[in-house]
């Protein structure tokens, strides 16, 4: 029945962070995006990039969100670099596929080093995970079919 997830500031923890109603340390931000640490790190480096405006999850993304997704990936790479991750080929950048997204507010996971993630992190964020879609896959699908499969 529900066609839209409530974007109520009181209910969405990431809207609360975006509205400075939380003591979460903001590592990077601009007029559209914010970046902070994942509270349950799945790798040596694990950051989240969120949109200030409430977008439910990657299934809500459409062709017009391509620039936003590109900028989220850029901020993800940037925060990894800023935290001295030298090998930007050994990282994971992507989104959880619902229903496996813990918070229903679009967030990009940026993890490094990917090759050092333990087994449970590999299952959640690794290349073999059915629950995780990389930024490159998201952009390719948005460019070809305008939505996520
Ligand atoms: Zn939200
Ligand atoms: Zn997630």
Lowest mean pLDDT of 4-8, 63-67, 96-100, 132-136, name the range. Answer: 4-8
Tell me the ligand closest to 92's alpha carbon. Answer: 2
107 is catalytic: yes
Give the pLDDT score at 73.
98
Which one from 46, 54, 96, 107 is the annotated catalytic residue? 107
Contact between 45 and 82 under an 8 Å Cβ cutoff? The reply is no
Task: Compute, in angstroms, the gap from residue 57 CA to the centroid of ligand 1.
Answer: 10
Q: Give the range of the structural domain holding residue 68, as residue numbers without chain letter.
A: 32-144
Does residue 31 come out as left (phi exceeding 0), alpha (psi in the -120 to 50 range) or beta?
alpha
Please tell me whether the peptide bond between 113 and the residue prior to it is cis, using omega within 30 degrees of 0: yes
Task: Compute, in angstroms, the gap from residue 115 CA to the centroid of ligand 1.
Answer: 31
pLDDT tens digit string along 31-48? 999 999 999 999 999 999
Number of domains in the chain: 1
Residue 122 lies in a domain: yes
What predicted TM-score, i.e. pTM, was given to this entire model? 0.92
Residue 16 lies in a domain: no
For the segment 4-23, the average pLDDT, to the nearest whole number, is 78
pLDDT tens digit string along 46-75? 999 999 999 999 999 999 999 999 999 999
Residue 77 lies in a domain: yes
Contact between 61 and 148 under an 8 Å Cβ cutoff? The reply is yes
Residue-averaged pLDDT of the chain: 92
pLDDT tens digit string along 109-133? 999 999 999 999 999 999 999 899 9
To the nearest whole percent, how much of the chain has pLDDT over 90? 85
Is 37 exposed, middle or buried (CB count within 10 Å of its CB: 0-12, 13-18, 19+)?
A: middle
CATH of residue 62's domain is 3.30.428.10
Q: How far is CA 92 from CA 3, 62, 85, in A?
A: 30, 22, 12
């Amino acid at each position: 029945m529900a066609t839209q997830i409530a974007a109520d500031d009181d209910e969405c923890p990431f809207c609360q962070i975006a509205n400075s109603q939380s003591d979460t340390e903001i590592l990077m931000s601009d007029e559209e995006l914010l970046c902070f640490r994942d509270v349950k790190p799945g790798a040596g480096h694990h950051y989240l990039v969120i949109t200030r405006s409430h977008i439910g999850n990657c299934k809500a993304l459409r062709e017009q969100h391509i620039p936003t997704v590109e900028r989220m990936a850029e901020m993800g790479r940037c925060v990894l670099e800023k935290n001295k991750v030298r090998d930007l080929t050994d990282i994971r950048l992507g989104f959880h596929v619902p229903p496996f997204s813990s918070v229903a507010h679009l967030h990009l996971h940026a993890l490094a080093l990917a090759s050092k993630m333990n087994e449970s992190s590999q299952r959640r964020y690794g290349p073999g995970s059915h629950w995780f879609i990389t930024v490159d896959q998201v952009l390719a699908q948005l460019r070809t079919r305008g939505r996520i499969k």
